[in-house]
Amino acid sequence: MRDSISRRKFYIYAVAVIAAGLFSELYIASAVRDNHIRTRIILVTSLALIVTWGFSAWQTERLRRLLKQITDFSRSLSRGEIDKKLVLQRAGEFNEIADNLTSMSFNLQGMMKQSEEERSRLNVILRSVPDALLIIDVKGAVTLSSSSVRDFFGDIPVTGVHFIEVVRNHEFSDLIDAVKKSHLPGMTECALEVPTEKHLTVRVSPLFYKESELSGFVAVFHDITEIKKLEQVRKDFVANVSHELKTPITAIKGFADTLLDGALSDRDNAERFVMTIKANSERINALIDDLMTISKVELGVIKVEKTLLDIQSVFENIVEIFKDKAVAKKLYLKVEGSPDIQQIEADRNRLIQVLTNLVGNAIKFTETGGVTFGIKQENGKVFLFVEDTGIGVPDKYVSRLGERFFRVDPARSRKMGGTGLGLAIVKHLVKAHGWSMQVDSSPGEGTKVKIIL
């Protein structure tokens, strides 16, 4: 038995009696040893393969589970569920990925919160802006609007529609085209008929997301309807005052020139001319007094000082003022009171001024019948009233009673010496008392004015 270092084999040598069998025994011993080693190698290799396969299967399952957790977390982020944290067990090299994804989730959460706060601030601004604001893209679609847009243009769809569907006005459309070409802000006025008649100013400015790339427009609309109305009232006022003053001044000048040209020697005509001059000067004086009164009332210069007063004494004062005029026109002048109402709170002088205007107008425009005024209580409401049997007012003009210089029949009113300011003064004095006025009238049947206390 001996080791072979050169061939790395272990040999068993047996010396048989028969010399010829020596090599045969040596071969059999070597073969036995090779089979034993081969068996051990196969066993070791098989065991190694089994262990490797098991480890690979475990590692694959581990990776699959980790990847599934990462995938599920990524999907939750894509759905907006950003308030979660990715925790991996025994993740090894995947822990860095988990930390990065969790950090990204927290960053997204912060950015979403900041974006929500900015959106809330923007919504507050858009709700509080009194003017109508439209953000329009380059294709003309409205992408954002303030809540007041519906007050301007009606309850219609706004976001996502073309601006011409919201603002049906060619001046605005032309302004958008001009700003689109020039890349410079522009401004214009436009009038709308629906949902109600409005006058607007609109300013359009270009929007740039990049330095020279136009991305849209911002349009701001401001309602100037009341300003336009006030301008028209001012123009009408100047025109009416000029007309009201020009007529009597022309008459005064004409009769004065006639007198200077020699009519002074004609006593009868001279006296008539002088009376005409006097009447026209009184008309001018009355007009100026009424203008000053209505201006003072509107400016608050005339203060209403309410006191508890005897209403019957006020009525007696009015009767004393107009009884001669009523008799001259053969009209009755009656007072109707309520026994339950003897006193009211009012400014005596202003109340007399109100009733003087109303009763005076009633007598002026009544040819037959008469005028009744007083105080009543109906359905729990107390009201003063003036009722006549005069010519009445057509329905279409009733709502305009109380406008300055408004007359249903201008020629008739001027002939009777009216300035067109009496009812306007009444309207303002009634309002200053905190009362309201109601007019009911029919042509040929008369007029009834109620002052609800």
* Digit-coded pLDDT (tens) for 289-314: 877 877 777 777 777 788 888 888 88
Say if residue 203's pLDDT is above 90. yes
- Give the max Cα distance, the chain: 199
- Distance CA(74)–CA(116), nearest Å, equals 22
Residue of 426, 419, 425 lying closest to 283 (CA atoms): 419
Say if residue 2's pLDDT is above 60. no
Lowest mean pLDDT among 7-16, 35-44, 170-179, 240-249: 7-16
240: number of Cβ within 10 Å: 17
Instruction: Note the pLDDT of residue 413.
Output: 52
Contact 391, 381 (CB under 8 A): no
Q: Which of left, alpha, beta for 203 (phi over 0: left; psi -120 to 50: alpha)?
A: beta
Amino acid at 429: L
Query: Which domains are delineated in the chain?
Result: 18-128 (no CATH), 130-223 (3.30.450.20), 234-298 (1.10.287.130), 307-452 (3.30.565.10)
252 band by pLDDT with thresholds 50, 70 and 90: confident
Please tell me which residue, 302 or 278, carries the higher pLDDT value.
Answer: 278
Q: Which of left, alpha, beta for 444 (phi over 0: left; psi -120 to 50: alpha)?
A: left
Q: Mean of the pLDDT values across residues 351-380? A: 88
Say if residue 186's pLDDT is above 90. yes
- Distance CA(352)–CA(112), nearest Å, equals 70
Contact 167, 194 (CB under 8 A): no
Average pLDDT across the chain, whole number: 79
Q: Mean of the pLDDT values across residues 342-369? A: 87
Q: Mean of the pLDDT values across residues 124-138? A: 83
Q: Mean of the pLDDT values across residues 384-401? A: 82
136 band by pLDDT with thresholds 50, 70 and 90: very high
- Distance CA(40)–CA(36), nearest Å, equals 6
- Distance CA(190)–CA(172), nearest Å, equals 7
Instruction: Note the pLDDT of residue 16.
Output: 46
- Distance CA(107)–CA(104), nearest Å, equals 5
| CA triple 235-239-240, angle to 5 deg | 115
Lowest mean pLDDT among 22-26, 285-289, 347-351: 22-26
86 band by pLDDT with thresholds 50, 70 and 90: low
Please tell me which residue, 30 or 11, carries the higher pLDDT value.
Answer: 30
Q: Mean of the pLDDT values across residues 129-133? A: 85
175 band by pLDDT with thresholds 50, 70 and 90: very high
* SS3 letters across 402-449: CCCCCCCCHHHHHHCCCCCCHHHHHHHHHHHCCCEEEEEEECCCEEEE
Instruction: Note the pLDDT of residue 231.
Output: 84
32 band by pLDDT with thresholds 50, 70 and 90: low
Residue of 151, 232, 223 lying closest to 189 (CA atoms): 223
The Cα-based distances of 105 to 72, 80, 93, 118 in angstroms read 13, 10, 20, 20
Say if residue 443's pLDDT is above 80. yes
Please tell me which residue, 327 or 410, carries the higher pLDDT value.
Answer: 327
User: 359-391: string of b/e by CB count within 10 Å (b at 16+)?
Assistant: bbbbbbbbeeebbbbbbeeeeeeebbbbbbbbb
* Six-digit token string for 279: 């009447």
Say if residue 159's pLDDT is above 70. yes
Chain-centroid distance, C-alpha 319: 52
Termini Cα distance of the chain? 143
| Cis upstream peptide for 195 (omega within 30°) | yes
Residue partners of 255: CB distance under 8 A and separation at least 6: 273, 274, 276, 277
Query: pTM of the entire structure?
Result: 0.52
Residue partners of 249: CB distance under 8 A and separation at least 6: 280, 284
Say if residue 446's pLDDT is above 80. yes
